[in-house]
Structure 1
Amino acid sequence: MAEGGRQQAQGCRSAAAQPGLFPGSFCPLPVPAILRAVSAPPNSPVRPTPQLLAALLHPVHASPLEAIMDTQPDLAFYLKDIQGRYVMVNEVLRRRTGRALKGDLLGLTAAEVFTGDTGERTRLQDEQTLLERQELHDVLEFYLTGAGEPIWCLTDKLPLIAPGGEVLGLVGFSRDLPTASRHPDFPRVASALAYIHAHFAEDLRLRDVAAQVGLSTDTLERLVRRVTRLTPKQLLLRVRFEHAVRLLRGTELSVSQVAHACGYSDHSAFSRKFRMMAGLTPQAYRKRLREMGEK
C-alpha cells in the first residue's frame, strides 16, 4: 500500500489541477490506469477507445458518468481509491451523509463520513474489496433516516483491477429496494408474501411457503426475486428486522424479547445481525431514538 501511495503522489499535482472528476487537493486514482481497468478485455470484438473512456472518466468540465448517476433517485454511487477515499459520489450519497456539497465527501474515508458502527461496517466491506479483492453482491442492509426510519437497500462493491493485476480502487452501488406492490407480477406472489409476513417468527422453509400457495419452489423463488429483488432468505430477513425495528421503536420490550418475537432464540445472534445490517446495535438504535425525543 505504501508503494501505491508513492505512485499516486507522483501524479497528484497534475491530476488535481484539472477540473471534473477529481476536484480538491487529495491524491486521486491514477486516471490512465483506471481507463485500462474498466476497458474491455483484449480479445473483445468491440472495445471503447481511450478517447471515449477519457471523456467519460476525466472530461474537460464535469464527468458525464457522475451526471448520469445524479439522475438516479434511489441509487447511491461512488468510486474510491486504494486507500478507501471517495473520489466520485452522486447526489443520493451526498443526501444520505447530510453533507452540503458532494465535494465535501471527496478525499474522506467511510470511517470519517459515517460515525460509529456504520463507519466500521463500511470500512470492513472496503477492506474485503480492496485488500482481499472480493466482489460483494446484493448485500442486504438498511440505513436510518433522520427520523430513525429504516430504508432498505442492496449494496454491491467491485474492485477496479488494472491489467497488470494491481487493485486501483473500487466502485460501489447501493440501491434502495422498491415497493413490491407496484410490480406487475405482484398478484402472482402476493399470497406467498402474506404468508411470510404472518409466519416470519417460525422456522420457515421455502418449500413450505411454496406448498401453501400452490407453486413449485423454483417458480416461487423466481417470482420473489423478480418482484422484490431479494432472495426468499433475504426477504424473510427483511420482514423479521422490519418487525424488530417496530418493536424497538414502539415498545419497552427487552432486546432478548424482541429477538424472540422475530424468530431468534439467541439474542446475541440477533444483535450481531442487526448491527451488521444497520451499522449499530439494537441498544444503540433505541438510544438514538430516545435522544431524538421519540420515546
Structure 2
Amino acid sequence: MSSPDAVRRLFSLLAEPFTAETVFDCLVEVVFFVKNERAEYVVVNRTLAERCGLKDKRALLGKSAEQAFPPPLGRTFWEQDMRLLRTGKPVLNQLELHLYPTGMTGWCLTDKFPLRSADERVVGLVGVSHDLHQPNETAGEYESVAAAVKYAGDHLDRRLTADELGGVAGLSAYQVDQKIRHLFRLTTGQLLLKLRMDSAAEQLRDTNRAIVEIGLACGYADQSSFTRQFRLTTGLTPGEYRRTFRTTSGP
C-alpha cells in the first residue's frame, strides 16, 4: 500500500499526467483503457486498438464502446460502462467472452473501477481485461484435475459442486478449487460457467438446436435465465450470437 501523500508528491512533479499507457502498450495479452464521464475512450493501449483492427490507437479516442464495436455488442459494453459511471460500483473479476470487430474471440477476466474527483464524483473509469488460456493438458499438474474437468464437461446439464468435482479427482473441495485457480486462473464456479458458455456457443454456431434445448443441456432451467447469463458473458443474446457467428446450417 502506497502513501497517498507520497503518490501526490511524486505525481505533482511529472510534466504530464501519468496514465500508464506506455506500460500497458508492452502487454500484448492485456486490454487497457481509460474513459471519461461520457464513457468515451481517452486512453487505450495498443492491444485494444489492434483487436479492433486499427493501426493507430488514436482512432479510438473520443469514441464509446458502442461506436468502436459492432451492434449489438458495442451497446452492451456501453451499458456496462454507463452503469458503473452512474452507480460507482466496480466490475470485479468478471468472466467474459470478447468478440472483436476483427473476428477474434477470446475469454478474459475484466475489471473496471470508477475514477473520482476531489469531491467524490465519478468522472470516468479505468479498466483492464486479461486473456485466459487453456492450460497445457500434458503437464503433470493438469493430471490431478483432468478427470474432474472432463466430468464437468460431461454433466453440464445439472448443478455441479466443488465437493462433487473433488470427489471425482480424489481431492477435497478446497484442494480442487486451488488447483483450478492455479491452472486456469479461475474459480471453480467460473470454470463451470466457461464450460457451459463454450458448449452453448458451439451449439448455437454449429447446430439448428432450439435455444431452449441448448439452455437445458447447459444446466439452465428456462430460456430466460440462459439468455440472461449468455448475454452477461458474451454481450449478445443467444439468438444474436447465432445470427452473427453461425458457420453451418446444422443437421
- Percent identity between matched residues is 35
Partner residue, 1:34? none
Gaps of 5+ in 2: none
Question: d(CA) in 1 for partners of 2:149 and 2:235?
Answer: 27
Partner residue, 1:216? 172
1:23-172 superposed matches below 5 A: 40-42=3-5, 49-51=10-12, 53-54=14-15, 57=18, 65-144=20-99, 150-172=105-127
Partner residue, 1:286? 242
CA deviations 1:133-191 (Å, max 9, x no partner) are 11211111102256867411111001122343232311100111122227774333223
Q: How many residues align?
A: 247
Give the match's secondary structure for 1:180: coil
Partner residue, 2:231? 275
Give the match's secondary structure for 1:49: helix
2:51, 2:101 within 8 Å by CA — same for their partners in 1? Answer: no
2:89, 2:114 within 8 Å by CA — same for their partners in 1? Answer: yes
Residues 52, 280 of structure 1: alpha-carbon distance in 2 compared, 3 angstrom cutoff: same
CA deviations 1:208-245 (Å, max 9, x no partner) are 11122121212221221121111111111110111111
Question: d(CA) in 1 for partners of 2:106 and 2:173?
Answer: 28
Partner residue, 2:131? 176
1:16-27 superposed matches below 5 A: none
Question: d(CA) in 1 for partners of 2:24 and 2:17?
Answer: 12
Give the match's secondary structure for 1:131: helix
Supply the AA of the counterpart residue of 2:221. Answer: S
Supply the AA of the counterpart residue of 2:4. Answer: P
Question: Where do 4+ consecutive residues of structure 1 move more than 3 Å?
Answer: 51-56, 145-150, 182-185
2:207, 2:248 within 8 Å by CA — same for their partners in 1? Answer: no
Question: d(CA) in 2 for partners of 1:125 and 1:147?
Answer: 22
Supply the AA of the counterpart residue of 1:41. Answer: P
Question: d(CA) in 2 for partners of 1:204 and 1:87?
Answer: 43
CA deviations 1:94-141 (Å, max 9, x no partner) are 122223421111011112222333222212221232221112111111
Question: d(CA) in 2 for partners of 1:118 and 1:277?
Answer: 11
TM-score (norm 1): 0.75
- Quote how far apart the aligned CAs of 1:54 are: 4.5
Question: d(CA) in 2 for partners of 1:83 and 1:147?
Answer: 25
1:224, 1:232 within 8 Å by CA — same for their partners in 2? Answer: yes
Supply the AA of the counterpart residue of 2:42. Answer: V
TM-score (norm 2): 0.87
Gaps of 5+ in 1: 1-38, 58-62
Partner residue, 2:152? 196
- In our comparison, the structure showing a higher alpha carbon Rg is 1
- Quote how far apart the aligned CAs of 1:40 are: 4.3
Question: d(CA) in 2 for partners of 1:118 and 1:130?
Answer: 19
